[in-house]
Amino acid sequence: MSYLWQYDSPLGRITLAANGGELTGLWFAEQKYFGSTLTEKAEEKYIPVFAQSEKWLNIYFGGKDPGFTPPVRLEGTAFRRQVWEILLSIPYGETMTYGEIAGIIAQNSNLPRMAARAVGAAAGRNPISLVVPCHRIVGAGGSLTGYAGGLDRKEKLLALEKGKTNSEKKEGKFL
């Protein structure tokens, strides 16, 4: 059973989904792959994980680092989950490139290299936008590329988080 709730954000309506105790989805209206984790039976009901998620969203859209992550359940292939776990490690206000993430996965998997495009595909299928911050991935040289919620939103989300830069990352932070 999936539970649903709606949240009105400054960047449009957001649909939240949960399995009862964990957030399983968070999508902007009309986002690519909207509802990818929903089960056939979904009930609109306000449950505690939505209260935690709304608190997170209110702090986030207030321009601050929420400092916590609501309980999440990430369902996907082993590779996608690997990418999403790295996304969860990117601090508020910072970015990583697709290539950096591919390099981490290659290193952790003892591979000579990993395609940045594969990372982009996995990030695009992220079912819990914002909380799992796929908007913090940028192209080589910091270019804005790819975001299932739309590049306009990605730009606004990164501007909201303004502050820290890649140069402030500590050595080995993401390894």
Note down pLDDT in tens along the chain; length 175 residues: 899 999 999 999 999 999 999 999 999 988 777 777 776 788 999 999 999 999 999 999 999 999 999 999 999 999 999 999 999 999 999 999 999 999 999 999 998 998 999 999 999 999 999 999 999 999 988 888 888 888 999 999 999 998 543 444 333 333 2
The pTM of the full predicted model, rounded to 2 decimals, is 0.86
Is residue 134 part of the annotated active site? The answer reads: yes
Q: 């940045």: which residue's tokens?
A: 116
Long-range CB contacts (< 8 A, 24+ apart) of 71-77? 71/21, 71/22, 71/23, 72/22, 72/23, 72/24, 72/128, 72/131, 72/132, 73/19, 73/22, 73/23, 73/24, 74/127, 74/128, 74/132, 75/24, 75/37, 75/127, 76/122, 76/125, 76/127, 77/122
Q: Which of 4, 14, 26, 134 is catalytic?
A: 134
